[in-house]
Amino acid sequence: MAEFEWRSAAAQTFVGGQITRIDGYWQSNVLGANIFDLIEEYDLWSVAFGGRAGKIRDKWKTMVAQRTGSGSLLRLGKAALSNLKGKNEIKLGTELFDALKQDVVMPMQDMFNRSSLTINFKADGWFGSQAGFDSYTTMWDRKTTGTVLTNTADAQNPAHIRAKADRWALYGQFDSGKDQVQKAGLQMPHVKRTQDASYKESWDYSKGKTGARPQPAPGAPADNQIFAALNYGSRPNGSSTRYGMSHFELAEAYKKQAIFFAMDTFTPVYDGSTTGKAKAQRSKLYQVSAGSFGGAILLAIKSQNPAKTANAGALLQELLESARGVGMPKGNENKEHLLVEAHIFQKIKMTPGNIKCVRIARSECPQGSQIEKNARAFAARTGVRVEFG
């Protein structure tokens, strides 16, 4: 039994309301964001429908040709079936809707249900000098002062851009996203980057606490999301080896209250500049829930990439192949655009109820090394299963 605790009361309030909004959004927008049009645009008929691809595509083209005033979009959904005219058109629409449900939406949801949530890490970071830690935390939990931010600066993950990206992801596809974050009481970090006369960089929190002598503060670190990813391809070393060859496999119950994103949530905000992308240049992120995953994750990819892109096509193909079991398990991968991110607002404690398994790559942990000894001590101390391979 998983032992779940929310990271903060504000996080619990936010997630409860946000998942309701997410489910309502995809339910009401399923007719406008068309999966068949997406499959046609990226020529994914075979990977979506297998041996039935040719017949389904022919029926779809027939339907599009018959519909008037709808352009190239086939607005397909149960509610739309009542608007079809004539017995043949109704029959055709029903057949297409059923094919979409049976061959795409349901397999995608089944894939989600059987896929693990993982967090990749480097073995020496967790077990190089100690027998692990008691919980998995965010950089905001660990870096509560500007001095620490500056002393641990990461060129690939600059603190002022990371803070923007974390907030931007919370807003999602909703115009009132910022208002909802504030109403829930989330206090997210705001970080300012400065340079001195010799161009030396430093970072500090730019929101001060109230009081006679306010000092920069990191907001409420526990309000921030923890980043995991869905290992939809059953990759042997976790969702993305970009962050290390070892990984934690989380308890299944974390999926229920997680918020999911197609691709990574850092790229829409960061362009390699010292300031990051301006708001007008950022692409909107689309949030998906556990209950809406089957069809919504495909629509989220399309919504984030209205113009056809190779990266979007690659993720669409990977997801559809994984749903149909093609080429499974997938090989290890480190590309950000092939991620399905999961943002978690619950504590991740190192207990058997929260962690299904810790899988440590031998490439990062030679047999008999201190890393292995510390990892085995961690297993003995916490009761969490540890595997090497």
Residue 346 β-bridge partners: 6
Q: What is the pLDDT along the chain (389 residues), one digit of tens a residue?
A: 456 899 999 999 999 999 999 999 997 666 544 788 899 999 999 999 999 999 999 988 888 777 654 444 444 454 554 555 566 667 877 888 889 989 999 999 999 999 999 999 999 999 999 999 999 999 999 999 999 999 999 988 999 999 999 999 999 999 999 999 999 999 999 999 999 999 999 999 987 655 555 567 888 999 999 999 999 999 999 999 999 999 999 999 999 999 999 999 999 999 999 999 999 999 999 999 999 999 899 999 999 999 999 999 999 999 999 999 999 999 999 999 999 999 999 999 999 999 999 999 999 999 999 999 999 999 999 999 999 99
Are the CB atoms for 299 and 108 separated by under 8 Å? no
Residue 46, SS3 per DSSP: helix
Residues contacting residue 389 through CB under 8 Å, at least 6 positions apart? 236, 359, 360, 361, 362
**Tens-place pLDDT, residues 83-135:** 555 666 678 778 888 899 899 999 999 999 999 999 999 999 999 999 999 99
Smallest Cα–Cα separation from 36: which of 52, 18, 59, 16? 59
Residue 236: other Cβ atoms inside 10 A: 16
- pLDDT computed for residue 1 by the predictor: 42
- The two tokens of residue 320 are 């559809």
Helix H, strand E, coil C: the string for 26-84 is: HHHHCCCCCHHHHHHHCCCHHHHHHHHHHHHHHHHHHHHHHCCCCCCCCCCCHHHHCCC
- pLDDT computed for residue 211 by the predictor: 53
**Furthest-apart CA pair in the chain: how many Å?**
77
Torsion sign (Cα): 20, 22, 23, 27:
positive
DSSP line for 198-234: T--EEEEE-EEPSSSS--EE---GGGSPEEEEEETT-
The pTM for the full model equals 0.92
Rounded-to-integer distance, Cα 215 and Cα 282, Å: 31
